[in-house]
A and B are shown apart, each in its own frame.
Chain A
Amino acid sequence: MTLAIDVHDLVKRYGTRTVVDKFSLAVETGRICGFLGPNGSGKTTTLRMICGLLTPDGGGGTCLGHDLVRDREAIKRRTGYMTQRFGLYEDLTIRENLEFVGRVYGLDRLKERVDQSLERLGLTTRQGQLAGSLSGGWKQRLALAACVLHEPKLLLLDEPTAGVDPKARRAFWDEIHSYAADGITVLVSTHYMDEAERCHEIAYIAYGELMARGTAEEIIRQSGLFAFIATGPGADRLAAKLRDAPGVSAAAAFGTTLHVCGPDRTALEKAIAPYRGDPGIVWEESEPTLEDIFIHLMGRARDNAPGA
């Protein structure tokens, strides 16, 4: 298997603040890798380093076999980067935007490609509309279409579905999967757990450091976390009481159920013991969810973070 992304020990500093610290990541060709982590954890900075928008202060590696620092231009030509904020021109029409991108990449058969792209998007009839007049979901799909117009081998998507409704998100992810089926590698950052589960594999970053890596199942299996679910009237109200109890790393209410987890099974059981007697509430052990694990990792990373 060849690696589409192979970077190691990437460091990025802004002044004295280290935003990304010794970050290493390898992604195989044709995989969809979900890039998760709390806000300000360095996801955008990492993506920008991978696509050549930022120069790393340390470390290096290759992207599609090209050196991250030396072959920036080659990487740009073969990579599609979708910015977090809508990066196309709101005062150009949908078609004009796509044509501009196509010309910058110097594509042949421009009209044909743009026509195909519009058709794939389902925007053929609206091609004369200004991009600024599109809804959030459509803007993101247009941005994605612009990203893949030059047939890149690697897609870097920075929170592409933030603020997009579930239906549009689903459509967006269907498109990502169809690109992956064509052999395109995708590295996509997101905050949505359901999206993380739609990825082939996940990389979790917190405070500039890679904290977990693997498929969703692997991460759950290797997490070393134990979880209990309480169901019944008033179970959700126990969250506030349990959250700071020793042995509990996270306690959260989901509707009427309560989710509690911790790294030490005995300590966790001890913490919930006082509430197990309530006859109306049913307790059962369960697998931790990805969210449980990420919140747990975030807490641990903060403890390790220098100066925190």
Chain B
Amino acid sequence: MRWFQTRRGFLRRLGAMIVKEVLQLRRDRLTFAMMFGMPIVQLLLFGYAIDADPHHLPTAVISADQSQITRTVLSALNNTGYMRFTHHPSSEEEANALLQRGEVQFVVTIPSDFTRRLVRGERAQILIDADATDPMAAANPLAAAGPSIAQALARDFVGPLAGLRDKPDSVEVVVQRRYNPEGKSRLNIVPGLLAVILTMTMVMMTALAVTRERERGTMENLLAMPVRPVEVMIGKIMPYIVIGAVQVTVILLVSRVLFDVAIQGSVFLLATGTALFITVNLAIGFTISTLTQNQLQAMQASFFMMLPSILLSGFMFPFRGMPVWAQWIGEALPATHFMRVVRGVMLKGAGFDDISTELAALLAMLLIVSLVAVSRYKVTLD
């Protein structure tokens, strides 16, 4: 009997706690939205947006030989579904620049004596230069190229050329994995990690720093003193810029020493891009803090920013493997542009001209976000 009574008391008190907890949870709309929104967003991203085996990758073609056979070769490559011929540069330099800027993933070069050698029964070569910074994106297209060319040519070899059919390796596909000849995925991941770690810490740190003032009631005191919004904003952000710079230095040193990832391009250019990216993130964090009420909400909003920065920026999965709508979301994320800057400078030795578009995009984001932040932050409590 006594046991029964204490058990009943336990259930009653437990029930009281549960009811209270549910009531409180219901009041926190943002948390509630996050709990249901996050899994849906994740499902959509993983289900639709992410393709680890991207197709239709932009490819440049330099064909010094125009014949029925070269047309067959090119259409065979096209038919693999992995390549899409977007550029027809007139020189090798031009093609290299396209690869450097990341505008194309592959450059297919057909030498002028291709058809002649093939017809003569000699071994003919076709050259594919691949941007192998992301080995995952390059692997399958390169593997599919040789067999599909051989197959298509076999169909074409009729009449006087029928004798070539029996020589299966008449065409040799020479592959050059640029920027990452050994196909090491860490070469691709380490620079990407820089973008992710910075997004994670910088956005959250500033978002929390300002909401903390409001939550603890020190904001009212601060506003009553003659300090201007821009001073509060820059003052709050500055220490984190230094922290971000230290983070970057540590990551780069560790990746150099432990993973042997060296910086191919200019350190100064990398530093400029990084400083810009850090500032954008801090401005975003500051904006989040002006839109949220407490530290928990600020934390959740930061996560909401971080998730696409990891999934849609090209960090985890090849950017070109995503559908167009996901690529547009990716383009709107600072992490995407910074990722291109870091990979470009670190792995490809890209110069200012190669990454100027990305830098411009980051600068534009900084301006827009700062405007929002300054207009949202008020001198008064109104």
Taking a contact as CB atoms under 8 Å apart, the answer to whether A90 and B216 are in contact is yes
The one of A48, A76, A85, A86 in contact with B225, judged by C-beta atoms closer than 8 angstroms, is: A76
Shortest Cβ gap from B104 to chain A (Å): 53
* Interface of B (DSSP majority class): loop
Q: Are A52 and B380 in contact (CB under 8 A)?
A: yes
Bound: A87/B214 CA distance, A: 10
Which residues of chain B come closer than 8 Å to A89, judged between CB atoms? 216, 218
- Mostly, the A contact residues are loop
Query: Hey, which chain A residues are within 8 Å of B226, CB to CB?
Result: 73, 76-77, 104-105
A85, B217: Cβ atoms closer than 8 Å: yes
Kindly identify which residue among A53, A79, A86, A101 contacts B223, using a CB–CB cutoff of 8 Å: A53
Q: Judging by beta carbons under 8 Å apart, are B218 and A53 in contact?
A: no
How far is the CB of B359 from the nearest CB of chain A, in Å?
Answer: 35
B217 partner residues in chain A, CB cutoff 8 A: 83, 85-87
A81 to B224, CA, bound (A): 7
Does B221 lie at the interface of the complex (its beta carbon under 8 Å from any beta carbon of A)? yes
Closest to B228 in A: A73
A213 at interface, CB cutoff 8 A = no
Q: Which residues of the other chain, A, contact B241 by a CB distance below 8 angstroms?
A: none
B382 close to A83 (CB less than 8 A) = no
Q: Give a binary string over A37-56; 1 marks a CB under 8 Å from any B CB, 0 the rest.
A: 00000000000100111110
Residue contact B225 to A53, C-beta cutoff 8 Å: no
Judge whether A72 is part of the interface by a CB distance below 8 angstroms: yes
Q: Does A88 contact B (CB under 8 A)?
A: yes
CB distance from B378 to the nearest CB of A (A): 10
Interface residues of B in 203-227 (CB under 8 A from A): 216-218, 220-227
CB-nearest residue of chain A relative to B223? A53
Given contacts A53-B381, A54-B381, A72-B379, contact A83 B227 (CB under 8 A): no
Q: Could you say which of B223, B224, B227, B382 has the most chain A C-beta atoms within 10 Å of its C-beta?
A: B224
Given A53-B381, A54-B381 in contact, is the A88-B225 Cβ separation under 8 Å?
no
Alpha-carbon distance A297/B381, docked complex (angstroms): 30
Q: A76 near B216 (CB under 8 angstroms)?
A: no
- A266 vs B381: C-alpha distance when bound (angstroms): 50
Given the interface contacts A73-B226, A76-B225, A77-B226, does A54 sit within 8 Å of B382 by beta carbon?
yes
Q: Are A104 and B225 also in contact (CB < 8 A) when A53-B380, A55-B380 are?
A: yes
Closest to B217 in A: A85
* Count of A interface residues, CB-CB < 8 Å: 22
Look across to chain B and name the residue whose beta carbon is closest to the beta carbon of A79: B224
| Bound-complex Cα distance A81 to B379 (A) | 15
Specify the chain B residue showing the minimal Cβ separation from A85: B217
| A56-86 residues at the B interface, CB under 8 angstroms | 72-73, 76-77, 79, 81, 83, 85-86
A249: shortest Cβ distance to chain B, in Å?
Answer: 36
Q: By the criterion CB–CB under 8 Å, are B380 and A54 in contact?
A: yes
Encode B355-381 as 1/0 by CB contact (under 8 A) with A.
000000000000000000000000111
Bound-complex Cα distance A24 to B32 (A): 45
A73 CA / B381 CA spacing, docked (Å) = 15
CA separation between A88 and B218, bound complex, in Å?
Answer: 6
Q: Which residues of A contact B224 (CB under 8 A)?
A: 51-53, 76, 79, 81, 83, 87
Q: CB distance B379 to A101 under 8 Å? A: no
Q: How far is the CA of A87 from the CA of B379 in the complex (A)?
A: 16
Neighbouring A residues of B216 by C-beta, 8 Å: 89-90
Residues of A close to B382: CB separation below 8 A: 54-55
A47 to B329 CA separation, bound complex (whole angstroms): 47
Considering only CB atoms, which chain B residue lies closest to A87 in the complex? B221
Q: How near does chain A come to B312, taking the closest CB pair, in angstroms? A: 37
A residues near B218, Cβ cutoff 8 Å: 87-89
Q: How far is the CB of A111 from chain B (nearest CB, A)?
A: 20
Partner of B381, one of A48, A79, A87, A88: A48
Q: How far is the CB of A141 from chain B (nearest CB, A)?
A: 15
Q: Say how far B333's CB is from chain A's closest CB, in angstroms.
A: 33
A66 to chain B, nearest CB (A): 12
User: Which chain B residue lies CB-closest to A101?
Assistant: B225
Find chain B residues with CB under 8 A from A88 CB: 218, 221
B217 nearest CB across to chain A (Å): 4
B216 to A, closest residue via Cβ: A90
Q: Nearest Cβ in chain B — how far from A201, in angstroms?
A: 24
> Cα distance A77–B224 when bound, in Å?
9
CB distance from A57 to the nearest CB of B (A): 10
CA distance A51 to B225 in the complex (A): 10
State the CA gap A90–B213 with chains docked (Å).
Answer: 11
Task: Give bound CA distance, A85 to B219, whole Å.
Answer: 11
- Tell me, rounded to whole Å, the shortest Cβ–Cβ distance linking A86 to chain B: 7
Most A CB contacts (10 A, CB to CB) among B226, B379, B381 go to B226
Interface centre among A79, A81, A83, A88 (most CB of B within 10 A): A83
CA distance A86 to B215 in the complex (A): 12
Chain B residues, Cβ within 8 Å of A79: 224
Name, among B218, B223, B225, B227, the residue most crowded by chain A CB atoms within 10 Å (CB to CB): B225
C-alpha gap A105/B222 in the complex (Å): 11
Closest to A156 in B: B224
CB distance from A191 to the nearest CB of B (A): 19
- 21 example contacts (A-B, Cβ-Cβ < 8 A) are as follows A48-B381, A51-B224, A53-B380, A53-B381, A54-B380, A55-B382, A72-B379, A76-B224, A76-B226, A81-B224, A83-B217, A83-B221, A83-B224, A85-B217, A87-B220, A87-B221, A87-B222, A88-B218, A89-B216, A101-B225, A104-B227
Residues of B within 8 A of A (CB): 216-218, 220-227, 379-382
Could you list 6 further interchain pairs (A-B, Cβ under 8 angstroms) beyond the known A54-B380, A73-B226, A81-B224?
Answer: A53-B220, A53-B224, A76-B225, A87-B221, A87-B222, A87-B224
- Give the top 3 A-B pairs by smallest Cβ distance, nearest first: A87-B221, A85-B217, A81-B224
